[in-house]
Amino acid sequence: MPANKTYDVIVVGCGSVGNPTAYHLAEAGMKVLVLDRRPAAGQGDNKAAIGGVRATHSDPGKISTCLESIDIISNWEEKHGFDVGWKSGGYCLPVYDESIEKSLKDLIPYQKKFGLDIKWVGPEEIQEIVPGVNPVGLRGGTYSPGDGQVSSILLPVAFQREAMKHGAEYRFNEKVIGYLKEGDRVTGVKTDKGSYSAEWVVLAAGADAAEHSELLGIDIPVTPDSHEAGISAPIEHFLEPLVVDLRPGPEGKTANFYFGQNREGQIIFCYTPKELFIGTNRESISEFLPVLAGRMITLIPSFKNLLIRRIWRGCYPMTPDGIPIIDFAKGLEGLILAVGMCGQGLMLGPGAGKNIASMIVNGKHCIPDEAQNCFRYDRDYKGKEALK
Ligand SMILES: Cc1cc2nc3c(=O)[nH]c(=O)nc-3n(C[C@H](O)[C@H](O)[C@H](O)COP(=O)(O)OP(=O)(O)OC[C@H]3O[C@@H](n4cnc5c(N)ncnc54)[C@H](O)[C@@H]3O)c2cc1C
Evaluate: CB of 52 within 6 angstroms of ligand 1.
yes
Ligand 1 centre distance from Cα of residue 319 (Å): 14
C-alpha closest to that of 11 among 40, 20, 347, 319: 20
Evaluate: CB of 166 within 6 angstroms of ligand 1.
no
Measured at the CA of 355, the angle between CA 350 and CA 358, to 5 degrees, comes to: 130
Evaluate: CB of 59 within 6 angstroms of ligand 1.
no
Evaluate: CB of 343 within 6 angstroms of ligand 1.
yes
Distance, CA of 45 to CA of 282 (rounded, Å): 10
- Superfamily designation of domain 88-146+224-318: D-Amino Acid Oxidase, subunit A, domain 2 (3.30.9.10)
Task: Ligand 1, residue 347: give the atom nearest the CA.
Answer: 11
This prediction has a pTM of: 0.96
C-alpha closest to that of 360 among 167, 166, 201, 163: 201
Task: Ligand 1, residue 212: give the atom nearest the CA.
Answer: 41
Evaluate: CB of 220 within 6 angstroms of ligand 1.
no
Which among 316, 336, 347, 387 is the best mutation to test ligand 1's pocket, defined by most ligand atoms within 8 Å of the CB?
316
pLDDT reported for residue 272: 85
Evaluate: CB of 89 within 6 angstroms of ligand 1.
no
Task: Ligand 1, residue 270: give the atom nearest the CA.
Answer: 1
Ligand 1 centre distance from Cα of residue 190 (Å): 22
Q: Whose CA is nearest to atom 53 of ligand 1?
A: 314
Q: Taking the chain, what is the end-to-end CA distance rounded to the nearest angstrom? A: 42
Which among 34, 36, 223, 310 is the best mutation to test ligand 1's pocket, defined by most ligand atoms within 8 Å of the CB?
36
> pLDDT: is 386 or 355 the higher one?
355
Distance, CA of 125 to CA of 275 (rounded, Å): 34
Q: How many residues does the chain have?
A: 388
pLDDT in tens, 271-319: 888 888 898 888 887 788 888 899 999 999 999 999 999 999 999 999 9
Evaluate: CB of 49 within 6 angstroms of ligand 1.
yes
Evaluate: CB of 270 within 6 angstroms of ligand 1.
yes
Ligand 1 centre distance from Cα of residue 227 (Å): 12
Q: Whose CA is nearest to atom 37 of ligand 1?
A: 205
* Ranges 42-46, 253-257, 338-342, 350-354: which has the least confidence: 253-257
**Residues whose CB is less than 8 angstroms from the CB of residue 380 and which lie 6 or more positions away in sequence, other chains included:** none
Extended strands (E) in the chain: 6-12, 32-35, 52-53, 91-95, 119-121, 140-144, 148-149, 169-171, 176-182, 185-191, 195-203, 223-232, 242-245, 254-261, 267-273, 277-278, 308-318, 325-328, 335-339
Evaluate: CB of 334 within 6 angstroms of ligand 1.
no
Angle (deg, nearest 10), helices 18-27 and 345-361: 40
Q: Where are the domains of the chain?
A: 6-67+153-222+321-374, 88-146+224-318
pLDDT in tens, 162-188: 999 999 999 999 999 999 999 999 999
Evaluate: CB of 70 within 6 angstroms of ligand 1.
no
Sign of CA dihedral 278, 53, 147, 66: positive
By DSSP bridging, strand 185-191 and strand 195-203 are antiparallel
Evaluate: CB of 227 within 6 angstroms of ligand 1.
yes
* Ranges 68-82, 200-214, 299-313, 373-387: which has the least confidence: 373-387
Task: Ligand 1, residue 341: give the atom nearest the CA.
Answer: 19
pLDDT in tens, 224-269: 999 999 999 999 999 999 999 998 888 777 788 999 999 999 999 9
Q: Whose CA is nearest to atom 21 of ligand 1?
A: 46
CATH class of domain segment(s) 6-67+153-222+321-374: alpha beta
